[in-house]
Chain A
Amino acid sequence: MLTRDELERYDRQIMIMGVGEEGQEKLKKAKVFIAGAGGLGSVTPTYLAAAGVGVIRVVDHDRVELSNLNRQVLHWDEDIGKKKVDSAVEKLKRLNLRVKVEAIEEMITEVNISQLVDGFDLIVDAMDNLPARYLLNKVAIERNIPFFHGAVHGFEGRAMTIIPGETACLRCIYRGAIIEGKFPVIGVTPGVIGCIQATEVIKYIVGIGELLTNRLLIYDGLNMKFTEFKAKKDPYCEHCAQVSKGQDKK
């Protein structure tokens, strides 16, 4: 049940056809896991908190550095040296005190990932490396939790939504590890991709629109062009081949 205060705060989105009070209540009940509090992990939870998602858990093990501030917009000069999760959660709580925001300072590993996502309805990929993304993809498939992929590099970004057992997953389209390290990026790129991820999350929770499934969206900021590529479920995928549609949600 929405309070009078919530009805007023979310009035403009409740007006959207297909959202309504029912959709807003779904957002209020939703629990979203955000893996990473960097560039993407600054943008996605900001818009989810503003939209009234009930519980947001942010996990990251880094501390804020000066060189983060061109893109990680939840962290400010005064936060340098602080844990990123603390800095992020403080801002998100100030943005919307009606939302429960949890900070977990841990590195996501094969050992702890299942426990970290336990009880959450959706997983947002805001990581900065592919091996961690594969871990998230795998646990999302195993636990039957929708997974919202995003990645950035320079002025380019990608996004895809994965519904376990139904759609192509990250491992269906990606071959393996890639050499990574310090990558170039400008803040507007995670801004665009993080907003796409947040849009997908909101649509999934409310149950409206057409999700970015079986479609990899590539954003080219320099040409200001969005290109969509079809992604197919790989019948031999090492993460999702054994998972059938309609599996029981844990």
Chain B
Amino acid sequence: MSIEVNIHRSLRHLTRGKAKVEVNGNTVGHCLYGLVKQFPGIETKLFDKKGKLLNYIDIYVNAESSYPEELSKPVNDGDELSITLIIGGG
């Protein structure tokens, strides 16, 4: 299934400047692994050493929060996945 991933501005240097990347997958996790396959440098910005999503990574599917258990959330052909970063400044 073809999924479009919106890449947060701060991660685009790892996707050769691309703001949108096409990936294939049935779940959010599959899609993110597909993204890492295309752009290996992004892996450590998304996952910890155990393969868990980092705390500051925020994933939305069709503009809806996929938290909790994001990686197992199913996606369908044509869905749009957005990677954003949780921010804490004030």
Instruction: Give A contacts to B, CB under 8 Å.
Output: 36, 38-41, 125-130, 133, 150-153, 156-158, 168, 172-180, 183, 185, 190, 216, 218, 220, 222, 227-232, 234, 236
Contacts and interface: CB of A to CB of B under 8 A. Distances in A.
Scoring A127, A150, A151, A175 by chain B CB atoms within 10 A of each residue's CB, the highest score goes to A175
A54 to B, nearest CB: 24
B80 to A, nearest CB: 11
A222 B9 contact: yes
B88 to A, nearest CB: 4
B51 interface: no
B65 A216 contact: yes
Interface of B: 9, 53, 55-56, 58, 60, 63-65, 67-68, 82, 84-90
A133 B88 contact: yes
Given A175-B55, A229-B60, A234 B90 contact: no
Nearest to A177: B55
Contacts of A129: 88, 90
B64 to A, nearest CB: 4
B65 A38 contact: no
A20 B57 CA distance: 44
B55 A36 contact: no
Nearest to B62: A230
9 contacts: A129-B88, A151-B90, A157-B87, A174-B58, A175-B55, A177-B55, A178-B55, A178-B56, A183-B87
A40 B90 contact: yes
Given A151-B89, A153-B87, A178-B88, A228 B63 contact: yes
Contacts of A231: 65
